Structure formats: C-alpha cells, structure tokens
C-alpha cells in the first residue's frame, strides 16, 4: 500500500507564505506525474499545479500562476508547493496526487490552508 503524507498547512494573514510538503511511503515518486489540488466546501476538487516525473514540464492554474511554485525531489520522494502572496480565496483543503499511466491514482490526506486577517 502506497501512502502520501501531506504537511505544511496552517493559518496565515493575506500576503503571507506557506510551504506544503507531500512525501511518499511504500513506492518511489520517480515515475509519477505529481500534482496539487484544492477543494472548498461545496465545491469540486480543482487542479492547482502539476509537475512531470523529471521536472521539465510544469503547469499552474491561472488563479495561482506567478504566486505558487511546485517542485520535486525524487531522492527524497517528495513534492512541494511554495505558496507566496496568499489571498483569502486561497483558503481550501489542499491535496497531493500521484499519477502514472496504467496505475491507480494515489491521493494524500489533505491539509487545511486558511488565509485571513
């Protein structure tokens, strides 16, 4: 069984920063496309950022482009989301996802990010 463990969420003021981490146990991250998603109560889960297995292809949603940075460290089986210039509308439950063609999709447990004064 593969587990994705997520940490780094918390409460910050507008304009502040947080760094989310996702670490895999039971498998290597190396072959996987990794991504971050977020979900608000009553809303669907939406893509925030994605990164290819070797890091050469990175994409962001329009709502976070220029403020968030996704990165990965395959030696540590980890993927990160650096969130800067946070806004109240960034308040959501954030999830880590690992995709590999022909394999089951793995999700982390989610971590709460709250941006408020």
CA distance 69 to 55: 12
Number of H helices, E strands in the chain: 0, 11
Q: Residue-wise pLDDT tens for the chain (117 aa)?
A: 789 999 999 999 999 999 999 999 988 889 999 999 999 989 999 999 999 999 999 999 999 999 999 999 999 999 999 999 999 999 999 999 999 988 889 999 999 999 999
- The distance of Cα 92 from the centroid of its chain, to the nearest Å, equals 12
Residue 2's pLDDT is 83
- Cβ proximity of 115 and 15 under 8 Å: no
How much is the pLDDT for 34? 96
Cα–Cα distances (Å) from 28 to 3, 21, 76, 100, in that order, read: 11, 16, 9, 11
Question: In the prediction, which pLDDT does 63 show?
Answer: 96
79 sits in which H/E element: strand 78-83
DSSP state of 76: G
């Amino acid at each position: 069984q593969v587990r994705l463990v997520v940490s780094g969420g918390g409460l910050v003021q507008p304009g502040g920063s947080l760094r989310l981490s996702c670490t895999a146990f039971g498998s290597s991250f190396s072959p996987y496309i990794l991504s971050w998603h977020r979900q608000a109560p009553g809303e669907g889960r939406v893509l925030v950022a994605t990164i290819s297995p070797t890091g050469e292809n990175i994409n962001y949603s329009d709502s976070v482009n220029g403020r968030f940075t996704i990165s990965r460290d395959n030696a540590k089986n980890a993927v990160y989301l650096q969130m800067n210039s946070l806004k109240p509308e960034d308040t959501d439950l954030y999830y880590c996802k690992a995709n590999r063609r022909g394999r089951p999709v793995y999700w982390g447990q989610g971590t709460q990010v709250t941006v408020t004064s």
